[in-house]
Every structure is written in C-alpha cells, then in structure tokens.
Amino acid sequence: MKLGSTADGERRTRVVAVGGAKGSPGCTFVAVGLARCFADHGLPTMLIDADGEEGGVGTALALPGRRQADLGRAAALGVDPGVLRDAAIEASPRLWVLEIGAGELGDQAPDGREVVTAARLDHQVVVVDLGHAWSRLQRQFAAAADWLLWVAVPDRQGLERADRALGRLLHGGGRGLVVNRSARWSLRGADRALVERHAIPLVARLPEHRAAARRVSERSAPAHRQRQFRGGFRLLARTVHPDVEGGGKWP
C-alpha cells in the first residue's frame, strides 16, 4: 500500500503545525509527542523541525546530526518527495524527521509550502514544530497547515503573550489551544478568556508533572505513553486526524 493512503485508497493526509509565544511553552514537547502518537497508531508520519532559533526535535529523539545541505541545494530547483526522503532521518517505525535550520540555511531555506506539498505525498500526517520565532519560513508552514495548535503555559506571562500573538495570527484552517503544564498554580479562568476572545477551541490540557517530564527529557519514555500525558495526546490526535477518531490500537 502506498504511503499516505488508506486501505480503500482514500488519501487523508493532515498537516499539523505547532507553535507558541516566547517563554518555553513546550512546542517541541507537544510536536514530538503528537508525532510519535500518530506513528505508533500506524500512520506514516513526518515530523519537521522548523524552529528558527531553538530546534530541539533531534535532541528529543536522540538523532544524529542534521542533513540540511541537500534541502538547501534543492531549494532553488524545487522540493519533491525524493529530496525529502534523502534529507529525512528515520527515527522509528513510521516516523521520519526532517530538520530545517532556517537561520543556518539563510536564503537557501526552502519554501515551507513546497515542503508540505511534497511531504503530503508520502505521509498521512505531517507535524511541524514552528517554535516561537515566526520568520517567513514559519509563516509559510502555518499557512499550509490544516491545523494550527497554539501552545500556552497557564501563568500570567504565558497567557498574556499568547493573547497578543493570537490577536496577530491569521490562519485559514482549524485552530486549537493546547494548555501545557496545567497545575494548581494555573491562572484560573485565563484559558477560557483566550478561547472566547479569539474563537479558538481548547483542544487539550497537558498537566505539569515533573517526574514524568524528566523521564521524557531523559528519553527513557515517550511523552504520549506516560500515564499523566497519554489522555491529552490521544485527544489531540483524534481531534486533528480523522483516521484516529474513536478507535484503533493505541500503545
């Protein structure tokens, strides 16, 4: 069966961009956990690290060094699935990782929309870690995404920054708010204010749990398999992709 197609031949690819305001909201944590969740569910997935400043996908997955040069040389000629296959690293079964360092590539950076178009052909899910530094490349990825998940930490500073950013952000596809590190100290009712003011649904809350987060950061356990985070990631996956709604074998 061709990658990116279902058993009956129907193509249902979803591109999910994950971004947030400055202040360590956990974009990489959410993007990596969500991508691994899709891959474990059986969907061929590409995870793109497009964080212009602090790309951490490779570190989170303990991957070898980046392969950005091939993408840079191909940018002028156009990006196709073959270019992505050569530049991507297979992190685990059904999960490929493409690291794009916008700052390092400079003018050689590919067009994010072309990368998404090519990635759709070989994958059922494309997850893009946008980070918080929104340059031309990040905006291109966001514009090409079917879903934009906005990650916010529920303290006063985190929610104020999210409020300002969401007020400037335009996106034609689905949008959702992910509250990361939700705890007793969270600013009560602030996330509901964001939801109402920006007409953006609250898709999931991921709790603050230091021991579980430490296990994830030490790469001893994937985030989506941790009991404390598992329900949130499953809810995210079911929300943004029709092939995981209401069933399937979960790890």
For the entire predicted model, the pTM comes to 0.87
- pLDDT band per the 50, 70, 90 thresholds, residue 190: confident
The pLDDT tens digits of the residues spanning 7-59 come to 444 557 999 999 998 766 889 999 999 999 999 999 999 999 988 666 688 88
State which amino acid sits at residue 49: D
DSSP structural state of residue 172: S
Tokens of 177: 């708010």
pLDDT digit string (tens) for 101-113? 655 555 667 888 9
- How many CA atoms lie within 13 Å of 171's alpha carbon, on the beta-carbon side? 28
| C-alpha radius of gyration, the chain, whole number | 17
